[in-house]
Amino acid sequence: MPTQLNTDIAIIGGGIAGLWLNARLRREGFNTLLLERTQLGGVQSLCSQGIIHGGTKYALQGALTGSSEAIADMPARWRAALDGNGELDLRGVRLLSEAHYLWSPGTVAGNLTSFFASKAMRGRVDGVTGSELPPALQHPKFRGKVYRLAELVFDVPSLMRTLAEQAGNSLLHAPDIQPEVVDGQLQALQVGDYRIHAQKIVLCAGEGTEQLLQHFGQQQPKQQLRPLHMVVVKGEALKPIYAHCLGGGSKPRITITTHPVPNGQWAWYLGGNLAEADGVARDEAAQISFAQNELRTLMPWLDQSALQWRTLRINRAEPAQSGLVRPDNAFLATNNGNLWTAWPTKLALAPDLADRVLTKLDKQGIRPGQHSDHDSLPRPPMGLAPWEHLFA
């Protein structure tokens, strides 16, 4: 006989979407179970750059889009959580940078002029010079302009560990989830010797969501993947920088974030346009060579001789959109009966996703039930970020 586990909400997937939602629901008094196939911390989440966007990057596309507006509250909400006054207590999380920067290497002034003229940008960006520049740009040969954005950068591994600690006994290692479907409705989940019954099941499985939907007999919602080819470089010569380097187009030429590696050095994690379509088409050697040339052009003073280079292929998983444009908000579909499907679309939007779930639960009259806390269950292990394992 399987062991029956009754809960209010079962969440599938232990990335930022699942862990954040789990912590929020538990704070609201819901009993939860979070089922993770492999490792806590997620796939995309531990590979993310940890930037809590406030929408400025998206405003570069010219007119402000819905994205810029919806995301504008996120830095303040994450800040409150970090200070212990927010919807979650993130005081244990390491903040890597109080600000993200926009860096114009000097050739894209026109683009920036119209950008800064936009009303929504007023008061949200400040120019910096001299000792206020990111340490990596403090060099006599530096030319260009740098603006400070009110956007935080988090150390994602410590974020994930903190959220996992707040999960109590709600975490279950679930390498194989089998659905129990009756009349087209998902009634329960089987995980090894456990049978899980919940009022709602929320899929937060990132790229794994499409396969789970099929496995559960659902055709909708559709998922899209955006492949990326990121570059990770480490070495003593690297000083901290958190910046979008502008290239004249609507997307940053490179987005650089800096992360602590186990030997006390820093690693730069390079994304932005460099990691998108052309970067995806390059093999590892060509991608590294491209990144080396970009840094040689942008930071000719940087001594690259002792740097170690790696690349990482990773997909962003999102709800399907026409033309592969970026979705504007966190996404929640609630039209498959007990089974809800969620993609945050950005790490920064995890609070927005949890709001959507809580609002919908309230609308459907779903309240915390009378469940006792679960006994200790097989717990999934914690995953590592690329800069923590690629150089091992």
Shortest gap between Cβ of 31 and ligand FAD (angstroms)? 19
Which residue has tokens 């914690």? 382
Shortest gap between Cβ of 53 and ligand FAD (angstroms)? 6
Shortest gap between Cβ of 43 and ligand FAD (angstroms)? 4
Residue 382 DSSP label? B
Nearer to ligand FAD, 87 or 207 (CB): 207
Question: Are the beta carbons of 299 and 136 closer than 8 angstroms?
Answer: yes
Nearer to ligand FAD, 228 or 339 (CB): 228
d(CA 343, CA 360): 15
Which tokens hold the place of 297? 């052009």
Measured in whole angstroms, the distance separating CA 145 from the mean position of its chain's CA atoms is 28
* Site for ligand FAD, rule CB under 6 A: 12-18, 35-38, 42-45, 47-51, 53, 174, 177, 204-208, 212, 228, 230, 271, 314, 316, 343-348
- H or E element in which residue 350 lies: helix 350-363
Shortest gap between Cβ of 205 and ligand FAD (angstroms)? 4
Nearer to ligand FAD, 49 or 334 (CB): 49
Shortest gap between Cβ of 325 and ligand FAD (angstroms)? 15
d(CA 217, CA 185): 9
Rounded to the nearest 10 degrees, the angle between the axes of helix 350-363 and helix 74-82 is 90
Shortest gap between Cβ of 353 and ligand FAD (angstroms)? 8
Nearer to ligand FAD, 212 or 361 (CB): 212
Nearer to ligand FAD, 142 or 332 (CB): 332
Question: Are the beta carbons of 51 and 153 closer than 8 angstroms?
Answer: yes
Which tokens hold the place of 27? 């704070």
Question: Are the beta carbons of 186 and 179 closer than 8 angstroms?
Answer: yes
Nearer to ligand FAD, 103 or 343 (CB): 343
Nearer to ligand FAD, 50 or 252 (CB): 50
Residue 315 DSSP label? E
Dihedral of CA atoms 177, 182, 185, 188 in degrees, nearest 10, equals: -40
Shortest gap between Cβ of 207 and ligand FAD (angstroms)? 6
